[in-house]
Amino acid sequence: MARKISVIQYKRYESKYEKLLEEIPKLEDEVKAAREHGDLSENAEHDAAKAKLAMAKAERADLEELLKCEIVEYDKSPLLVAGSILRISSPALTEGPIVVQLSDVGDLVIEGCLNTATPLGKIIQGKLPGQFTVGKDIFTVEKIMNPNIEEFIQMYPEEDVLIKSLFDKAERE
């Protein structure tokens, strides 16, 4: 099954990708500079710079794959499907309701998205909005029919908080 992302997600991934393309040469320079600080077997600065560069390159590879995904239009039906913008509330959400996009992005965990592979994502996909139970938690899911795209993008800035923490508790049960 091909991965699907929305226009919102595509714009966010494209922006992150462009920033990484600018950041990677700087990180490569940091590795070179750290290499000059002596014996590599005892050079923590060099190890840290290499690790940072490796993480950036791995993120770049992930983003390159995401930018190849099929782009889905906003869904106008009442069903909860990939591309739908949702408001989710639950007593399990200590910071209050969240707004996310239901997304089919394989095993990836992406900020601002509820992956269809998560326990809650699996339960709600293809259903009408309402209450859903995951483990011992009850989630109320509403669909936002005419989302403000720019407002949604601003909810999840570059230094994002991954939404994965919401579902960690349910997955452990």
Nearest to 16 by CA among 110, 151, 116: 110
* Residuewise pLDDT in 10s, the chain (173 residues): 467 777 767 777 888 899 999 999 999 999 888 888 776 677 788 888 899 999 999 999 988 988 888 877 666 678 888 778 888 999 988 888 888 878 776 655 566 778 888 889 899 988 999 999 999 999 999 988 766 655 555 555 443 333 333 333 333 33
Interatomic CA distance for residues 48 and 87, integer angstroms: 39
Rounded CA gap, 69 and 3, in Å?
Answer: 5
Nearest to 118 by CA among 96, 99, 135, 131: 135
> Which pLDDT value is given to residue 23?
94
CATH 1.10.287.180 domain span(s) along the chain: 4-72
A 10 A CB-CB count for 22 gives: 8
Q: What is the pLDDT of residue 69?
A: 83
- Other Cβ atoms less than 10 A from the Cβ of 8: the count is 22
* Stretch (H or E) spanning 143: strand 137-144
- DSSP secondary structure of 9-59: HHHHHHHHHHHHHHHHHHHHHHHHHHHTTS-GGG-HHHHHHHHHHHHHHHH
Which pLDDT value is given to residue 171? 39
- pTM of the predicted model, to two decimals? 0.52
Q: Are 6 and 42 a contacting pair, CB within 8 Å?
A: no
Q: How high is the pLDDT of residue 13? A: 82
DSSP state of 149: H
- Fold designation for 4-72: Helix Hairpins (1.10.287)
- Residue 9's pLDDT is 73
d(CA 170, CA 152): 25
Give the three-state DSSP class for 118: coil
